[in-house]
């Protein structure tokens, strides 16, 4: 009898231990309510379950299946979805349970990167107009790990160029538009890419070296924790850097969103790199940036916004524009969006943000730019 009780107790403890150790399905943060997925193209969704577990994903009355590897990692290819709105996604694992996400839509998702001109809010724009917001639009921003629906109370706080891009894409397509922003004011392109993607030039060697200098890293922390100093008076200016050190923002903002399915990427940056010799070799930096981002987001269309006009350092800015154009002319699935005329000789932050967002949206429409994986 004692042996039977002992055996039974041992079995209970074993089962309890297995239950305690069992994991639930783990999903990236972008799997959240109000998420937006691309329509009309194939993409891959990833997560984690129990090792070798079967995983079923239900979406729009379709079943997609995958199997976790020995580490529990799974990925499922999603066939092209039609434009859909506010449905339920369910992910089931044989041994790791079920997770559900509500208000999932499929439309367009655009990743917008760069510096301050990709960051300033709608409230800064001089050309917003009385119709800057419409209840008929369904625009959602991915912010701090959550999808936020834009409404009449928060739209003025959204980044202006991405918002007006979404506003015009909504008008042109009637689809739900998702926006992801990876941008920070006063930053150079070197902050947005890994060290191994930097060019083999003297400037590239310098930036790779600075990326691991303790004094540089500490200066960046102090710059970020104190009241913002005027550009050029910030601590990192000592090393000829913008408001972030090399690779810092790639680690901080880009890697955490790796794998989010997108229709394409818009890059609007260059003000902090309009100096020699960086401006002359900016095409090499774009090559490294685009290559490194495509490893994270697949071979999606990449649009480069021309550096708008501004009176300061005209030769350097002209050289950077030439480098932008040179890169696009020699690179597949990349596009150059003219924007010189939308600048302001006296203001490095031109105020016609609606015009810029609209131009990008109409450029996408006129060129029929889309993710070709369908």
Q: Does 4 map to a domain?
A: no
Three-state DSSP state, 179? strand
pLDDT of residue 20: 35
What is the rounded CA–CA span in Å between residue 278 and residue 263? 30
pLDDT in tens, 225-274: 888 999 999 999 999 999 999 999 999 999 999 999 999 999 999 999 99
Indicate the pairing of strand 146-149 with strand 139-143. Answer: antiparallel
Same domain, 67 and 113: no
Same domain, 197 and 308: yes
Q: Is the pLDDT of residue 276 over 80?
A: yes
Same domain, 72 and 173: no
Q: Does 12 map to a domain?
A: no
List of residues 6+ apart from 249 with CB closer than 8 A: 182, 184, 187, 191, 192
Determine contact, residues 188/242, Cβ cutoff 8 Å: yes
pLDDT of residue 14: 38
Q: Does 7 map to a domain?
A: no
Q: Is the pLDDT of residue 5 over 50?
A: no
Q: Does 8 map to a domain?
A: no
Q: Does 17 map to a domain?
A: no
Residue 105 pairs in a beta bridge with 36
Same domain, 67 and 168: no
Helices (H) and strands (E) in the chain, counts: 8, 13
DSSP string, 287-354: HHHHHHHHHHH-S--EEEEPPPP-SSSHHHHHHHHHHHHHHHHTSTTEEEE--GGG-BTTBSS-S-HH
* Opening angle at CA 279, ends 352 and 160, nearest 5: 20
Same domain, 96 and 138: no
Same domain, 47 and 147: no
pLDDT of residue 4: 37
Nearest Cα to Cα of residue 234 among 186, 277, 192: 186
Q: Does 18 map to a domain?
A: no
Q: Is the pLDDT of residue 285 over 60?
A: yes
Three-state DSSP state, 180? strand
Nearest Cα to Cα of residue 272 among 236, 326, 226: 236
pLDDT of residue 23: 61
What is the rounded CA–CA span in Å between residue 275 and residue 267? 19
Mean pLDDT of 112-137: 94
**Residue 267 φ/ψ, nearest 5 degrees:** -115, 115
Domain total in the chain? 2
Same domain, 99 and 128: no
pLDDT of residue 227: 87
Structure tokens at 268: 């609007």
**Chosen domain end from 103, 126, 141:** 103
**Chosen domain end from 103, 124, 146:** 103
Q: Does 323 map to a domain?
A: yes
Same domain, 144 and 73: no
pLDDT in tens, 6-42: 333 343 333 333 333 346 899 999 999 999 999 999 9
pLDDT of residue 94: 86
Same domain, 89 and 234: no
Q: Which domain holds residue 191?
A: 106-367
Q: Does 156 map to a domain?
A: yes
Average pLDDT, the chain: 92
What is the rounded CA–CA span in Å between residue 62 and residue 80? 11
How many whole angstroms from its chain centre is CA 71? 27
pLDDT of residue 373: 60
**Chosen domain end from 55, 85, 103:** 103
What is the rounded CA–CA span in Å between residue 344 and residue 324? 19
What is the rounded CA–CA span in Å between residue 53 and residue 72? 7
pLDDT in tens, 51-83: 999 999 999 999 999 999 999 999 999 999 999
Same domain, 201 and 248: yes
Q: Domain of 354: which CATH number?
A: 3.40.50.1110
Same domain, 56 and 110: no
What is the rounded CA–CA span in Å between residue 26 and residue 43? 19
pLDDT in tens, 314-366: 999 999 999 999 999 999 999 999 999 999 999 999 999 999 999 999 999 99
Q: Is the pLDDT of residue 167 over 80?
A: yes
Q: Domain of 64: which CATH number?
A: 2.60.40.10
What is the rounded CA–CA span in Å between residue 69 and residue 297? 21
List, in sequence order, every beta strand (DSSP E) within the chain.
36-38, 43-48, 54-59, 62-67, 73-78, 84-93, 97-114, 139-143, 146-149, 177-183, 264-268, 302-305, 334-337
Same domain, 69 and 132: no
pLDDT of residue 90: 96
pLDDT of residue 141: 98
């Amino acid at each position: 009898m004692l042996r039977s009780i002992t055996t039974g107790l041992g079995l209970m403890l074993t089962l309890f231990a297995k239950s305690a150790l069992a994991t639930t399905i783990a999903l990236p943060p972008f799997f959240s309510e109000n998420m937006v997925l691309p329509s009309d193209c194939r993409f891959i969704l990833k997560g984690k379950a129990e090792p070798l577990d079967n995983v079923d994903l239900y979406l729009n009355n379709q079943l997609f299946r995958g199997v976790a590897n020995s580490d529990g990692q799974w990925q499922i290819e999603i066939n092209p979805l039609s434009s859909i709105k506010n449905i339920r996604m369910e992910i089931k694992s044989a041994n790791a349970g079920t997770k559900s996400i509500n208000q999932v839509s499929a439309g367009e998702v655009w990743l917008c990167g760069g510096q301050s001109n990709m960051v300033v809010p709608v409230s800064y724009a001089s050309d917003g107009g009385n119709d800057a917001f419409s209840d008929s639009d369904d625009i959602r921003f991915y912010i701090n790990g959550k999808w936020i629906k834009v409404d009449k109370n928060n739209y003025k706080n959204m980044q202006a160029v991405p918002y007006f891009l979404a506003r015009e894409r909504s008008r042109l397509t009637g689809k739900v538009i998702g926006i992801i922003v990876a941008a920070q004011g006063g930053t150079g392109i070197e902050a947005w890419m890994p060290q191994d993607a930097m060019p083999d030039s003297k400037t590239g060697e310098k930036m790779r070296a600075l990326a691991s200098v303790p004094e540089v890293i500490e200066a960046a922390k102090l710059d970020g924790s104190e009241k913002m100093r005027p550009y050029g008076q910030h601590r990192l200016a000592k090393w000829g850097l913008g408001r972030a050190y090399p690779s810092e923002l790639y680690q901080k903002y880009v890697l955490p969103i790796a794998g989010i399915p997108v229709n394409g990427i818009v890059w609007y940056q260059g003000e902090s790199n309009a100096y020699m010799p960086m401006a002359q070799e900016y095409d090499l930096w774009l090559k490294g940036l685009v290559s490194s981002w495509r490893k994270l987001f697949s071979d999606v269309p990449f649009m480069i916004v021309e550096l708008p006009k501004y009176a300061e350092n005209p030769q350097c800015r002209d050289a950077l524009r030439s480098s932008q154009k040179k890169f696009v002319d020699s690179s597949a699935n990349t596009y150059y969006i003219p924007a010189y005329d939308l600048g302001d000789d006296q203001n490095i932050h031109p105020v016609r943000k609606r015009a810029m967002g609209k131009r990008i949206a109409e450029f996408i429409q006129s060129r029929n730019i889309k993710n070709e994986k369908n």
